[in-house]
Amino acid sequence: MDSKAIAEALEEIALLLEIKGENPFKVRAYQTAARTLENLEEDLGVLIDEGRLSAVKGIGSALTQKIEELHRTGSLDYLDELRASMAPGLMQLLEIPGLGGKKVKVLHDKLGVDSIESLRRACEAGDVAKLAGFGEKTQAKLLQGIANREAYGKRHLWWDAFAVAEPILEGLRGLPEVVRAEHAGSLRRRLETVGDLDFIAAAEEAEPVMEWFTSRPGILEVTARGSTKSSIRLEGGLQADLRVVPPAQFPFALHHFTGSKDHNVALRQRALARGLSLSEWGLSPAEGREKRPVKVPPPGDVQTEEDLFRLLGLTHIPPELREGMGEIEAAEANDLPELLRAEDLRGAIHNHTTASDGRNTLEEMAAAADELGWDYLGIADHSKASFQANGLDEKRLLRQVAAIRELNEAGTHRVRILAGVECDLLSDGSLDLSDEVLGELDYVVLSIHSGFSMDEAAMTRRVLQGLENPHVSLLGHPTGRLLLQRESYRLDVPAVIEAAAERGVALELNANPRRLDLDWRWWRTAASKGVKCCICPDAHHAAGLAYLEAGVGMARKGWLRAADVLNTRPLPEFLEHLQARRKRARW
């Protein structure tokens, strides 16, 4: 286990001790040790090997043992026992924003709160507001947090759902009875969140397929078991539907269960206008057409969704576009864009390292980018105002720039590393770093990490003012949402798109699966105004570079072509785009 992961384990111990009402000094000792580990300059393994860990300031002898055990084995009996001794409901309370260990303990001691449900009752009765240190405002915020959790709890991040769905699809495809199988539903449309998984399989004989699907490991409950449809509930809360159809019906079923509902309704109307009734079963003459018969194509004519669209006079509509947002009209006019593909991307520039809150070093990130075949990797660690993320001040940032230049010179990596920053946009609209320092960088990502509660007008002014600075190449995660967790801050997005177009600032499509920000629904407008998109994984560890793929799905949903996306450009052209404003500006 590395020092960051060990720090997290120590933080968890501190939290658990806090809930248990342990001695505050003991709690503090764990917190201090966690922070010490996070900021460790030396390699933890070396410290342990040389027996010098207990001499590090902030780490006592009792903790030395625990840290060594975590480092060696990746687990700790003490932590496991602590976890086991805690009512599960109490731990869940920590997921409500605004509740930490201390508050949970007070709620438990004074009101007997031991679950989210009992907290809700206590809030609704007004008991929480009466507690010292809580008050009406806190109580209202807790109730809101509970309501959000319920609204969000039913859906899952696309990325997480995909990870669960992939092996199931592979398994289905591996069954001897299965001729074809696909994802359907919102997962296939690559919606940012997914309610449940849908699978369609083609097989002459459904029974063995259903048997396999409903008896896999990791199933909590089989909620339906039929000859054409079965449903299961999986560990982690996801539900999954499987429909098994005869092979001739497959393209119709796949199309129908891919949705969306709005798209299906529009397509069915189009079929009706041609005298055809379209369903998951196939095409048949529309009612009332018996007198004036239409020619129904023989089933063999429709092998694929392409065939189905063609029969209805349309070019193929990729699943991502099937949201009932004008895709049928565009397909009719042969006017659908050629969508961005994953292989069009050549790199990305919003990524973090251990210099701020990332888990991997510059070298490790570069090695990972090499493995992915990227042409360029931009490092944009946090700036100093993000102190909770260990943001860089001018001195540390310039040191990092030098290290990056050196690493490029050394030629150890194929990927070209670009030196940037994710500079905080402060509440007054100014930037967290001086122009002088920003001028040393290859590019600047401007992001908001604080002061979320402004009203729309003030927030929009703040962003527009930030965009004035000619060093700014990219506006990071423009609306600040965290999917299933936190709403966007209030912002006049059309005004920001307008300003970005005028100033030649690109907007980020942050591909971190929790963000996917700017939302896909805005990108057609943005692209039509000439705003360029830059897709970035916002990776905080080497494996996070792979998030880029989630961004590709969102860009496709936003009707974006490769030409709309900056990081499809070869390095020289890409850099020129990022720096064009700075070059134009007169200082």
Identify which of residues 189 and 350 has a Cβ nearer to Ca ion in the complex. Answer: 189
Q: Which does residue 265 bind out of Zn ion, ligand DGT, Ca ion, none, counting CB within 5 to 8 angstroms by kind?
A: ligand DGT
Give the binding-site size for Zn ion (rule: CB under 5 A): 1
Minimum gap (Å) between residue 303 Cβ and ligand DGT: 21
Residues contacting 192, CB < 8 A, separation 6+: 157, 158, 483, 516, 519, 520, 554
Q: Which does residue 264 bind out of Zn ion, ligand DGT, Ca ion, none, counting CB within 5 to 8 angstroms by kind?
A: ligand DGT
Cα separation, 173 vs 146, whole angstroms: 40
Identify which of residues 215 and 430 has a Cβ nearer to Zn ion in the complex. Answer: 430
Identify which of residues 4 and 155 has a Cβ nearer to ligand DGT in the complex. Answer: 155
Q: Which does residue 366 bind out of ligand DGT, Zn ion, Ca ion, none, counting CB within 5 to 8 angstroms by kind?
A: none
Which among 62-70, 183-191, 490-498, 549-557 is the span making contact with Ca ion, rule CB under 5 A? 183-191
Whether cis (ω within 30° of 0) applies to the bond prior to 260 is yes
Distance of CA 581 to the CA centre of its chain: 30
CB atoms within 10 A of CB 211: 12
Question: Please, are residues 418 and 392 in contact by the beta-carbon 8 Å criterion?
Answer: no
Site for ligand DGT in 146-205 (CB under 6 A): 185-186, 191, 194-196, 198
Applying CB under 5 A, does 447 fall inside the site for Zn ion? yes
Select the residue whose beta carbon is closest to Zn ion and give its number. Answer: 447
DSSP state of 562: G
Contact pattern for Ca ion over residues 221 through 260, marking x by CB under 5 A: --------------------x-------------------
Applying CB under 6 A, does 504 fall inside the site for ligand DGT? no
Residues contacting 307, CB < 8 A, separation 6+: 251, 301
Adjacent-strand bridge partners of 259: none
Calculate the dihedral angle through the C-alpha atoms of 11, 142, 151, 549, rounding to the nearest 10 degrees: -30
Cα separation, 111 vs 123, whole angstroms: 10
* Binding residue for ligand DGT, selected from 36, 139, 230, 264, defined by CB under 6 A: 264
Minimum gap (Å) between residue 183 Cβ and ligand DGT: 10
Q: Which does residue 16 bind out of ligand DGT, Zn ion, Ca ion, none, counting CB within 5 to 8 angstroms by kind?
A: none
- Amino acid, single-letter form, for residue 139: Q
Give the binding-site size for Ca ion (rule: CB under 5 A): 5
CA neighbor of 396 nearest in space, from 41, 32, 37: 41
Q: Which does residue 261 bind out of Ca ion, ligand DGT, Zn ion, none, counting CB within 5 to 8 angstroms by kind?
A: ligand DGT
- Amino acid, single-letter form, for residue 180: R
Identify which of residues 165 and 511 has a Cβ nearer to Zn ion in the complex. Answer: 511
Applying CB under 6 A, does 429 fall inside the site for ligand DGT? no
Q: Which does residue 447 bind out of Ca ion, ligand DGT, Zn ion, none, counting CB within 5 to 8 angstroms by kind?
A: Zn ion
Which among 17-25, 254-262, 351-359, 392-400 is the span making contact with ligand DGT, rule CB under 6 A? 254-262
Cα separation, 508 vs 536, whole angstroms: 7
| Token couple for 47 | 């410290």
Question: Please, are residues 202 and 245 in contact by the beta-carbon 8 Å criterion?
Answer: yes
Applying CB under 6 A, does 257 fall inside the site for ligand DGT? yes
Identify which of residues 198 and 305 has a Cβ nearer to Ca ion in the complex. Answer: 198
Question: Please, are residues 348 and 377 in contact by the beta-carbon 8 Å criterion?
Answer: yes
Identify which of residues 196 and 564 has a Cβ nearer to Ca ion in the complex. Answer: 196
Applying CB under 6 A, does 230 fall inside the site for ligand DGT? no
Adjacent-strand bridge partners of 403: none
Minimum gap (Å) between residue 483 Cβ and ligand DGT: 13
Element (H, E) at 377: strand 376-379
Applying CB under 6 A, does 260 fall inside the site for ligand DGT? yes
Cα separation, 353 vs 342, whole angstroms: 24
* Binding residue for Ca ion, selected from 12, 68, 196, 381, defined by CB under 5 A: 196
**Residue 26 phi, psi dihedral angles, 5° rounding:** -65, -45
Site for Zn ion in 379-408 (CB under 5 A): none
Distance of CA 485 to the CA centre of its chain: 11
Given the rule CB under 5 A, which residues bind Ca ion?
185-186, 196, 198, 241
